Amino acid sequence: MQSRFLVIDIGNSNIEIGIYDDKRYICSWRLGSDTSLTEDEYFAVIRSLAHEYQIDLQNIEICCIASVVPELTRIFEHLFEKYLSSSLINVTPYTPLGLTFPMEDPGFVGADLVVNAYAAWQKYRSNCLVCDFGTATTIQLIGADGRFFGTVIAPGVIISSTNLFQRASLLTKIQLESPQHTLGTNTRDALLAGIIKGHSYMVDSFIRELKKEYAHLGEVRVILTGGIAHLIKENLEEETILDKTLTIDGLYRICLQHVKQVND
């Protein structure tokens, strides 16, 4: 029987859940992050979703999570302990993945950043700038040798636009999509230009500056991930790679590394 892995990326706004076997991706789902739900309620949702793919959660060998929400970390740890007999890997900066950090104590580095760094390093085998568009927009540089150079953390598109809608009474919340023009001739188009193009200009500037500052590294690939990465990509001048499953792929690769270490 092939090994089955359950991987969970817990963010401030969304939870992404994926199931892999030791050869391939099988399926994934995205849920809203809700600290009011119990481990029983979350398990019921996951079990129902897995049932659609005829997956028995009792056959899961390893669960691997990366969480930036301590309350949800505890809920999912209780879920695994109560309902599953699989091994649990809770990724932190101290998880032995082969990454190296420029600071003595990397404890401040978020689990999502660690997993994205590891995923980019393992998948692309080159210097990578990873831009993740979630509740926050993060831009981090990972060397081809697994060195974590550092990160930029900026307010994300969703949280910035939501704050704007809440504070400006004459502006109405809109569906985010790629703007057709730089100047809008109505409120909706003007907002899209400011929100999407404005964020894209910021990211383009960071990419150019970081490539210049770290030119001694040689070629640097730019990887985009996160919920609205496709919208930002359409408005960037810099050449980029869209990788929507980077984080859960990273968790999957951590599972594979764990299996290899156990078997060696």
Structure tokens at 148: 């974590």
Q: Please identify which residue in the block is written with the tokens 């978020």.
A: 110
Residues 6+ apart with CB under 8 A from 233: 224, 240, 242
Structure tokens at 196: 């999407």
Is there a catalytic annotation at residue 40? no
Q: Which helix H or strand E contains 27, and what residues bound it? A: strand 25-32
Structure tokens at 261: 């270490």
- Quote the CA–CA distance of 132 and 117 in Å, as a whole number: 11
Q: Can you tell me whether residue 28 is helix, strand or coil?
A: strand
Q: Please identify which residue in the block is written with the tokens 């092939």.
A: 2
At 82, the amino acid letter reads K
- Quote the CA–CA distance of 73 and 90 in Å, as a whole number: 9
At 3, the amino acid letter reads S
Q: Cβ distance 143 to 218 under 8 Å?
A: no
Burial class for 24, CB neighbours closer than 10 Å (0-12, 13-18, 19+): exposed
Catalytic residue among 112, 132, 243, 249: 112
Question: Would you please indicate which residues are annotated as catalytic (active-site) residues?
Answer: 112
